[in-house]
Chains A and B, each alone.
Chain A
Amino acid sequence: MSTIRMPPILRQAVGGAREVDASGGTVREVLDDLTGRFPAIRTHLFDDGGDLNRFVNVYVNNEDVRLANGLETAVGPDSTVIVLPAMAGGSRR
């Protein structure tokens, strides 16, 4: 089991938890496990094409997966996955 740390704005959708356990060997599998149990999160994390939403960053052991192998990045049993909104600037306009 790996641990997924949720950003404050998505915690309500997972029953208020800051961290949620999930299983899977890749980011895609771990997030599929998460969204299988909490379907309301799916549209926040993924775009219509099934890729990560542009305004979501996902990290495995603090490394941004977009610069690793994306959704196929390996997740170990003791890995921490962090989901964060892109925070560098302001609103999308």
Chain B
Amino acid sequence: MSCLEAPRSAALSAVGNTPLIELPRMSPNPDVRIFAKLEEQNPTGSMKDRVALSMVEAAEATGELEPGRRILEPTSGNTGIALAMIGTVKGYPVTAVMPESATPERVELLRMYGAEIVFSPGNMGSNGAVAMARSMAERDPSVFMPFQYANEANPAAHYCGTAVEILDQVPDGQVDAFVAGLGTGGTLMGCSRRLREANPDVVIVAAEPLQGDPVMGLRSLEDGYTPPILDIAQLDRKVLVSNGESVSTLRKLLSLEGVFAGVSAGAALAVARRVAADMEGGNVVVVFADGGSKYLSAGIYTKPADQLEREMEERVWW
């Protein structure tokens, strides 16, 4: 996996180098320290700034992406927002294809950065956005689709950036377990490769969303999809987390540690706590892919838990 060194200006120079903080009150085991990588500190507020910039720079390096060419990408929101920001700086128009059930904050942020939005059916979840974007790209070859699900520049962003920073930030460079949310698989694949180079015994764990029935609108199981960049043989465990558990963990995180994080961070932390409970000792690193601000309108931090859990079934959260 190669690492590009491209000159970066304006907001792009602030991508990466996010803080790693310890969460002493969230560890269920006195012999295990849990550390969180706060990806909200990227310019558009999510880890996807790294991925989007890596994909754009890789396509520029090969000549595939020329000035003025439109970028088209299926997204649950954060990748589209990151591409739109990068498009603003570098001069690429951006079209984001995303489920119509996305939170209003994501829609507003995309519009703020000047992106065009095409909505896919909410009941088809992320699959619907991918299918629609692929169809649009086939009909219009003038657009460039980075396609984060199959683009090696996605895991490369984490191999060359996120994981290197973690090894530099965690005490003694010792990572015994690593937990991240599973979407495209980019974070888990890129980080696992680099972290295993430093410690072959590191345990790599994926936190996977248990989607609500209303967003599982597949016509058949064969419409399901495994991202080409995801090799689950590189994982040691893959754990389902319900929306309810994600949110209850987020609320605990806010009240005990003062950290305001997004839904996938809650799921990843819930899994990190389970992993930590079973360990004899060591360091667990968990990635918080974004912050809580894009979810305020959904009442993640304010609505009664049972009402919220029912409402969350209607949407794709990460």
Residues of A within 8 A of B (CB): 7-10, 44, 53-56, 59, 62-64, 66-67, 82, 84-93
Contact = CB atoms under 8 A, between A and B. Distances in A.
Residue among A7, A84, A85 with the most chain B CB within 10 A?
A85
Contacts of A44: 220-221
B46 interface: no
A87 B126 contact: yes
B227 interface: yes
Given A8-B216, A67-B232, A67-B235, A89 B227 contact: yes
Contact of A92 (B129, B185, B222): B222
A67 B182 CA distance: 14
Interface in B117-137: 125-131, 133-134
Given A62-B239, A62-B240, A54 B226 contact: yes
A39 B149 CA distance: 34
Nearest to A45: B221
Contact of B127 (A59, A82, A87): A87
A88 B215 CA distance: 12
B223 interface: yes
A3 B213 CA distance: 17
B118 to A, nearest CB: 14
B237 A88 contact: no
B221 A88 contact: no
A72 to B, nearest CB: 17
Contact of A90 (B126, B182, B221, B232): B126
Nearest to B241: A62
Interface residues of B, number: 40
A55 B131 contact: no
B284 to A, nearest CB: 17
Nearest to B204: A67
B235 A87 contact: no
B239 A64 contact: yes
Contacts of A85: 216, 218, 221, 223-224
B74 interface: yes
Contacts of A8: 213, 216-217
Nearest to B183: A88
B139 interface: no
A90 B216 contact: no
B238 A87 contact: no
Nearest to B134: A90
A66 B134 CA distance: 29
A10 B222 CA distance: 12
Nearest to B225: A89
B239 A87 contact: no
Contact of A53 (B131, B216, B221, B241): B221
A64 B126 contact: no
B313 to A, nearest CB: 11
Residue among A44, A53, A90, A91 with the most chain B CB within 10 A?
A90
B225 A87 contact: yes
Contacts of A53: 221
